[in-house]
Amino acid sequence: MTVFPDIKAFGTNPFEAFSASTKGLQAIAAETTDYSKKSFEKSRAFFDKLIGVKKIDEAIELQSDFAKSAYDDFLAYATKIGETYSSLAKEAFKPINGASPVAAPPSKAPVAAKQS
């Protein structure tokens, strides 16, 4: 009696989930790298502008604009990464979700006799 389902139930290629997750993780790494580079460049540009400010009002306005822009950029990044993780999970579990359910082992309980 086998408790584990047949490996064929998980798809024709056992590495389908692995290759899907590898591609998804590469996409996440690329997106994170891109976001980090852009964020760094925007921060550097902000500090360059901040150094040239002569009045406190200008500095406050510049800081406010930078904070709003950084927040919007982060929300866009977080949304995109969330969608990527979601699609990664769907792809990784696709072979498992398509598998047939494991049949329950037969019961060992005696069958009650019919009374006439």
Residue appearing with tokens 């579990």:
93
How much is the pLDDT for 91? 79
Mean pLDDT, all residues of the chain:
79
Count: domains in the chain: 1
Reported as a single tens digit per residue, the pLDDT across 24-67 is 888 899 999 999 999 999 999 999 999 999 999 999 999 999 99
- Domain limits at 86? 11-97
Calculate the dihedral angle through the C-alpha atoms of 32, 18, 83, 67, rounding to the nearest 10 degrees: -20
Side chain identity at residue 15, one-letter code: F
Residue percentage of the chain with pLDDT more than 70: 64
Indicate the SS3 state at residue 71. Answer: helix
Please indicate, yes or no, if residue 57 is contained in any of the structural domains: yes
Query: pTM here?
Result: 0.63
For residue 114, being part of any structural domain is answered with no
Would you state the pLDDT for residue 24? 81
Could you tell me if 10 and 99 are in contact, meaning their C-beta atoms sit under 8 angstroms apart? yes
CA–CA dist 92, 24 (Å, integer): 9
Q: Which helix (H) or strand (E) holds 69?
A: helix 56-97
Q: Is 115 helix (H, G, I), strand (E, B) or coil?
A: coil
